[in-house]
Amino acid sequence: MTTKKIVLITGANKGIGLATATALAEDGHTVLLGARDPERGRTAAAGLTDQGMDARFVHLDVTDPATITSAAELIEADHGRLDVLVNNAAITRDRLRPPSEVPVAAVREVYETNVFGVIAVTNAMLSLLRRSESGYIGNVSSGLGTFAFLSDPAEVLTQYATLLGYNSSKAALNAITLIYADALRDSGIRVNALSPGFCATDLNGHAGVLTATEGGVHIARQISAPETGVFLNENGGTYPW
């Protein structure tokens, strides 16, 4: 991206979300750090502004319609548009338990954030994205949710193949990505699934092979991709669905 963009990132107070915000702010873009915890969100944003970057905390809990509406109203009042939405917020409740031992309530909680939260935020931000000269929606996904992986898991990741809530929620997110990409194709808004790679974060007990910083750099690079309706690979190219 060569022109300054207005970018909203959900779940941006730590991990890959904050790393993505940092990478984009370093490139000169205006970054809005969506976070459900105001104290953590303000602290994260202050860490960037103290370095001279254009960043701001936006109170946004993807499971709370009131904060989603307020965030959209704030962005409209302050910027009049949104160029990039990165749906990054995600949780897991599987803890490497077999699927038969994962309570339905836990799976439902995962879907509230990883699936329904993405739909709610996307729909709330669409009118702002339509005002952009080149709107972009990036859904941070995982190769663990691809049917290519689930039907034939790589040996090194076999222990993660049965994560009922997380993997199925990312499979749903991939489908959502394709549906929105098709629906918005004529509007010029591109929609892709993004992969940060297997990063060490709180989500996986810091078991990943990449740092969150590396993952954020990958995501920041992918939002300039010209394609729409694809799952972008952190190493270049695309993943099979």
Sign of CA dihedral 142, 143, 148, 154: negative
Coil, strand or helix at 209: coil
pTM over 0.85: yes
Between 197 and 85, the higher pLDDT residue: 85
- Work out the pLDDT band at 209, boundaries 50, 70, 90: low
Instruction: Check 136, 160, 166, 180 and give the catalytic one.
Output: 166
How confident is the model over 26-74, as pLDDT tens digits?
999 999 999 999 999 999 999 999 999 999 999 999 999 999 999 999 9
Residue 87 has pLDDT above 80, yes or no: yes
Instruction: Check 5, 160, 170, 239 and give the catalytic one.
Output: 170
Annotation marks residue 239 as catalytic? no
Query: CA 45, CA 79: separation in Å to the nearest integer?
Result: 17
For range 196-212, the mean pLDDT: 72
Residue type, 15: G
Average pLDDT, the chain: 94
Residue 200 has pLDDT above 90, yes or no: no
**Structural domains present in the chain:** 6-239 (3.40.50.720)
Residue 232: which of 195, 201, 202, 189 has the closest Cα? 195
Which of the 8 DSSP states describes residue 140? E
Residues contacting 186, CB < 8 A, separation 6+: none
Query: CA 14, CA 173: separation in Å to the nearest integer?
Result: 21
Annotation marks residue 170 as catalytic? yes
Q: What is the pLDDT of residue 210?
A: 78
How far is residue 193 CA from its own chain's centroid?
Answer: 9
Residue type, 187: S
Coil, strand or helix at 173: helix
Residue 142 has pLDDT above 70, yes or no: yes
How confident is the model over 174-189, as pLDDT tens digits?
999 999 999 999 999 9
